[in-house]
Amino acid sequence: MTSAVITPELALPASFWTRERKTGAVLVALGLVASVWFTLASPSSPATFYLGTSTQSGANFEIDGKIGCLVFGLIALAAGAILLATGKHYGLLVSISLAAFVLSALIWQVSTVHGSVPLGSLSTITMEASLPLIFGALAGVMCERSGVVNVAIEGQLLTGAFFAALFGTIAGSYWAALGAAAIGGALISLILAWLAIRFLVDQVVIGIVLNTFALGLTGFFYEQVMRTDTEAYNNPGGLPHWTIPGLSKIPIVGPAIFSGTLLTYVALALVVVLTIALFRTRWGLRTRAVGEHPAAADTVGIKVLGLRYVNVLVAGLIAGFGGAYFSMVTATSFTKNITGGLGFIALAAMIFGRWNPVGAFLAAVFFGFAKALSSLLQALQSPIPSEFLAMLPYIATIFAVAGLVGRVRAPAADGKPYVKG
């Protein structure tokens, strides 16, 4: 007797045009645009980059516009070409190529207006713009890893922002403001959890309803209460910046990370804590099990519904806390629809980050950078119309989620209610 073992192999004769190669081709095209168009359009005047936060402080370097555009354009081209030729090292080559393309574009714009770029400020703005996205995306990760879809991030952020302004003003303390913000987010979560887990309502629909609900309710109270006496109800004050001596002087990234408000430090800590909790603790293992195969968790005695309630509520606390950013960091008061849809960008960041805390963080920073870049170019009075620049973060979102992510795998039971039996 002989045993005939036939190994199944990949069915499709590997077509030349894999996803990697297609992306490579697009990057080559971008590189060509940069090294030809940008170089020709750019004047031979210098673009100046400062490492610190202002044009006066810190070291700086200058680069000739034409040369800079050409050099970085060629780097973008080369990285794209390598990807096109080999189809390997996808993540690395895409990052290099896109970064070089962005730099080339930046140098072109900066040298055109004879301007200068404080890199320290750029990174600070990036970090600040990322903050609500980090909190929102982490809230999404918490929720969805346990199998409950969280489309209500926007509503959680908005309610958090509103509670922070209202109760922070009344109590006169930013600690109270932050606590109230977290509770505000958790209230939205409570409705989400209750309807989704207890009554098995479609989770995407509840999420959208809750967002509308939060928008309407906070808008109503803003008009009826806050506007009547701004001093008494809508004057929470800004969160103080805590600068860590020494570390905040690190070129480029120092001011962004070590001179932020409490929210900056909490956001960074949460990324680390959640990563460890999710992948190294009993709670994390059970959360992931419940999100992937709730029946399996149930049969080993894990309380599926209880765990989902807890996770959804904690997600609300996180998002609500982050909501304080809107009324206490970028502004010092609440206004109607102050979140302006960033909760949905946070949702995109969670998907782009593949339901992973670190991934979600990087995705949030990516969107934050797009935002920072657009405001920098507007400040430099770049010839590109400001309306187009304002679109940049959203265009980046679409490209990132649609183009670069490809097929990602959500937790298998995400959005599916669990019914025993």
Q: Which residues bind another protein (CB under 8 A)?
A: 1-6, 8-12, 276, 280-282, 284-286, 288-289, 292-293, 295-302, 412, 420-421
Nearest-angstrom CA–CA distance, 337 and 335? 6
Instruction: Compare residues 295 and 395 and give the one whose CB is closer to another protein.
Output: 295
- Contact predicate 48/62, CB 8 Å: yes
CB of 19 to another protein, least distance (A): 13
DSSP string, 254-321: HHHHHT--HHHHHHHHHHHHHHHHHHHSHHHHHHHHHHH-HHHHHHTT--HHHHHHHHHHHHHHHHHH
Instruction: Compare residues 66 and 288 and give the one whose CB is closer to another protein.
Output: 288
Nearest to 169 by CA among 342, 372, 328: 328
Rg (CA), the chain: 24
- Listed in sequence order, the residues at least 6 apart from 163 whose beta carbon sits closer than 8 Å to its beta carbon are 177, 180, 181, 183, 184, 320, 323
Instruction: Compare residues 1 and 59 and give the one whose CB is closer to another protein.
Output: 1
CB of 84 to another protein, least distance (A): 22
Q: What is the dihedral of CA 308, 314, 315, 316, to 10 degrees?
A: 110
CB of 200 to another protein, least distance (A): 18
CB of 282 to another protein, least distance (A): 5
CB of 296 to another protein, least distance (A): 4
CB of 357 to another protein, least distance (A): 16
CB of 314 to another protein, least distance (A): 17
Nearest-angstrom CA–CA distance, 264 and 257? 7
CB of 277 to another protein, least distance (A): 10
CA 38 vs. chain centroid, Å, equals 29
Instruction: Compare residues 190 and 302 and give the one whose CB is closer to another protein.
Output: 302
Instruction: Compare residues 11 and 59 and give the one whose CB is closer to another protein.
Output: 11
Q: Which residue has the tokens 């989704």?
A: 196
* Phi and psi angles of residue 64, each rounded to the nearest 5 degrees, phi first: -65, 135
DSSP string, 189-256: HHHHHIIIIIS---HHHHHHHHHHHHHHHHHHHHHHTGGG-HHHHS---PPPP-PPTTGGGSTTTHHH
Nearest to 107 by CA among 37, 192, 190, 47: 47
